Amino acid sequence: MCDLMIIGGGPAGMTAAVYAARKKLKTLLISKDIGGQPNLTAGIENYMGYQFIEGLELMQKFEEQVKQFPLEMKIGGMVSNLSQIDGGFAAKTDKNETYQAKAAIIATGKRPRPLNVPGEEKLRARGVTYCAVCDGPLFAGMNVAVIGGGNSALEATDDMIKIAKHVYLITLTPLTGDPILIDKVKGAKNLTVFLEHEVLEIKGEDFVEGVRVRDLKSKQEKELEVGGVFIEIGLIPNSEAFKRMIPLNRLGEIEVNCANETGIPGLFAAGDVTTVPEKQIVVAAGEGAKAALQAHRYLQRLENKFPRSKQNCKRRNKEQGKEAKMGVKKIGEKYRCNVCGNEVTVTKVGGGTLVCCGQDMERISL
C-alpha cells in the first residue's frame, strides 16, 4: 500500500504529485492520459513564466518535472470505482487493476459536454469533433460550424477562420467569452455568427454534410452546408466514479472546503472536478499543491509523528484565553489545527489570532 494515490494526470494531479514526492511520500499517480484539458488548448497566454505556450507543450513540461521524482505512474487506465478499505482507499480501473493507498487525491478534471442532438453520436469522428486544436487541420478549405459562445468556442473559431473556407459560429446566447477573444474573431471575412440560434440536427450519412438550425426569436429554420462540426459548449466533471462515495453539487462537481477535503478523512480533491471557482490551469495547479500538502499533514497525524495530543492542544487554547477566542469576525466560525487536527468553534468575537501547535489555525467553515 502506498502513502498517497493521485487520480488524474492534469495540472492539479501532476502538481500534487510533485509536492507529494518532495515530502517523501510513496506516491502513485493513475490517469487515463497525461495533460488533460490543456492538451486541447492551442495557446496559453496567462500562465506565469510564459508569454505564450501551447497547451500540449506546457503539459509536457509538467510531465518532465514529475518524472524527476521517484514516484509510480500508471497511465492508460481510468479509475472506475473508489472505495474505503481498512487503512485507506482502493481504486479499481477499467482494466480491472486495483491499487491501494492510505490517502487519495481526486484530480480527474472535466471532459467536453455533448450537444445531444440527432446525428451527433452517429457522426462522431466523422466530422463531429470536440477539439479544434486536435482535428482542425483535417477541415482546411471546408465550411465548418462551431457550436458555442464561450471561450472554447471563440478559440476554436479563431483557429478555424485561418484555415477553413467559411466558419459558422452558432450560439444559443450572446457571446459570453472574454472580450479579447471576441476581438480576435470579429470582422473576419469568412465568419458568419448566428446569435440566439439552436442546433436541431447534424445531418449526413457517412460523414457530416450539414447542420439544421433554428432562430429562437423568429422560429425560422435553415440548413447550413458544412463538412465539420466543432462542439464547444462547456465541460462535464469526471466525477461519476465517486458519486456514491462523496457529495457532488448540481453540476456534478466534488464539494470541497478550503483545505481540499471532501468530508471523508484522507480523501481530498483538487482542480476542475471540484467546486472551486475559476477553472484555470494556474488555479488547478495551485489547488493540486494545496491538496498534496493537506494529504501530507493528514498522513503525519495518522502516523502520530507529532507528540502533542489533541487534548493538550485544547488545554493550550484554553490557557491562551482571549487570544484563542478572539481571532475571528463571526461567532460560530470553525477553525482547525493543520498539525494535530484539533477543531474549535468561535464563541467570542475579537481581534486576535487562533494558535495551535505553534501556528495559526485555519478557518474551515463560516
**What confidence score (pLDDT) does residue 341 get?**
72
Among 33, 86, 94, 131, which one carries the catalytic annotation? 131
**What confidence score (pLDDT) does residue 304 get?**
67
Q: Does 291 lie in the same domain as 144? A: no
Q: What is the mean pLDDT of residues 193-222?
A: 97
Q: What is the mean pLDDT of residues 76-100?
A: 96
Question: What mean pLDDT, rounded, does the chain reach?
Answer: 89
How would DSSP label each residue in 185-218?
Answer: HTT-TTEEEEETEEEEEEEESSSEEEEEEEETTT
Choice among 1-15, 93-107, 169-183, 340-354 with the minimum mean pLDDT? 340-354
Q: What percent of the chain has pLDDT over 70?
A: 88
Give yes or no for residue 151 having a pLDDT over 60: yes
**What confidence score (pLDDT) does residue 111 get?**
92
- Final residue belonging to a domain, choices 231, 253, 280: 231
Give yes or no for residue 336 having a pLDDT over 70: yes
* Residue 218 lies in domain: 128-231
**What confidence score (pLDDT) does residue 307 get?**
44
Determine, yes or no, domain membership for 122.
no
Q: What is the mean pLDDT of residues 311-322?
A: 44
Determine, yes or no, domain membership for 288.
yes
Q: Is 131 an active-site residue?
A: yes
**What confidence score (pLDDT) does residue 359 get?**
64
Distances in Å between the alpha carbon of 236 and those of 164, 175, 205, 249, 308?
28, 20, 28, 12, 43
Question: How would residue 334 be classed by pLDDT, with cut points 50, 70 and 90?
Answer: confident
Among 33, 134, 258, 360, which one carries the catalytic annotation? 134
Bridge partner residues of 201 (DSSP): 212
Cβ(116)–Cβ(32) below 8 Å: no
Question: How would residue 353 be classed by pLDDT, with cut points 50, 70 and 90?
Answer: low
- CATH number of the domain within which 336 lies: 2.20.28.100
C-alpha cell belonging to residue 125: 469522428
Question: How would residue 317 be classed by pLDDT, with cut points 50, 70 and 90?
Answer: very low
The total domain count for the chain is: 3
Cβ(1)–Cβ(101) below 8 Å: yes
Rounded to the nearest 10 degrees, the angle between the axes of helix 281-302 and helix 11-22 is 40
pLDDT digits (tens, 9 = 90+) for 280-300: 999 999 999 999 999 999 999
Q: Does 279 lie in the same domain as 193? A: no
**What confidence score (pLDDT) does residue 302 get?**
87
Give yes or no for residue 343 having a pLDDT over 90: no
Q: What is the mean pLDDT of residues 56-78?
A: 96
- Distance, in Å, from the CA atom of 41 to the CA atom of 110, rounded to the nearest integer, reads 14
**What confidence score (pLDDT) does residue 354 get?**
72
Q: Does 191 lie in the same domain as 139? A: yes
Bridge partner residues of 106 (DSSP): 7, 269
**What confidence score (pLDDT) does residue 352 get?**
59
Question: How would residue 212 be classed by pLDDT, with cut points 50, 70 and 90?
Answer: very high
Which letter, b or e, does each residue of 117-136 get, where b requires 16 or more Cβ atoms within 10 Å of its Cβ? bebbeebeeebbbbbbbebb
Q: Does 7 lie in the same domain as 20? A: yes
**What confidence score (pLDDT) does residue 339 get?**
63
Give yes or no for residue 332 having a pLDDT over 90: no
Determine, yes or no, domain membership for 72.
yes
- Distance, in Å, from the CA atom of 303 to the CA atom of 341, rounded to the nearest integer, reads 13
Q: What is the CA radius of gyration of the chain?
A: 24
Question: How would residue 326 be classed by pLDDT, with cut points 50, 70 and 90?
Answer: very low
**What confidence score (pLDDT) does residue 345 get?**
82
Nearest to 153 by CA among 163, 141, 167: 167
CB proximity list for 282: less than 8 A, separation 6 or greater: 46, 47, 48
Give yes or no for residue 88 having a pLDDT over 60: yes
Q: Does 250 lie in the same domain as 160? A: no
Q: Higher confidence at residue 363 or residue 7?
A: 7
- Distance, in Å, from the CA atom of 262 to the CA atom of 105, rounded to the nearest integer, reads 10
- Final residue belonging to a domain, choices 302, 318, 347: 302
pLDDT digits (tens, 9 = 90+) for 96-130: 999 999 999 999 999 999 999 999 999 998 999 99
Cβ(170)–Cβ(197) below 8 Å: yes
Q: Does 296 lie in the same domain as 353? A: no
**What confidence score (pLDDT) does residue 67 get?**
97
Q: What percent of the chain has pLDDT over 90?
A: 75
- CATH number of the domain within which 174 lies: 3.50.50.60
Q: Does 104 lie in the same domain as 8? A: yes
Q: Does 99 lie in the same domain as 15? A: yes
- Distance, in Å, from the CA atom of 319 to the CA atom of 332, rounded to the nearest integer, reads 20
Give yes or no for residue 242 having a pLDDT over 50: yes
Q: What is the mean pLDDT of residues 63-74?
A: 97
pLDDT digits (tens, 9 = 90+) for 33-54: 999 989 877 678 899 999 999 8
Q: Does 83 lie in the same domain as 19? A: yes
How would DSSP label each residue in 47-106?
Answer: STT-SSB-HHHHHHHHHHHHTTS--EEEES--EEEEEEETTEEEEEETTS-EEEEEEEEE
Q: Does 181 lie in the same domain as 226? A: yes
Q: Does 146 lie in the same domain as 84? A: no
- Final residue belonging to a domain, choices 182, 215, 231: 231
Question: How would residue 318 be classed by pLDDT, with cut points 50, 70 and 90?
Answer: very low
Among 135, 178, 215, 357, which one carries the catalytic annotation? 135
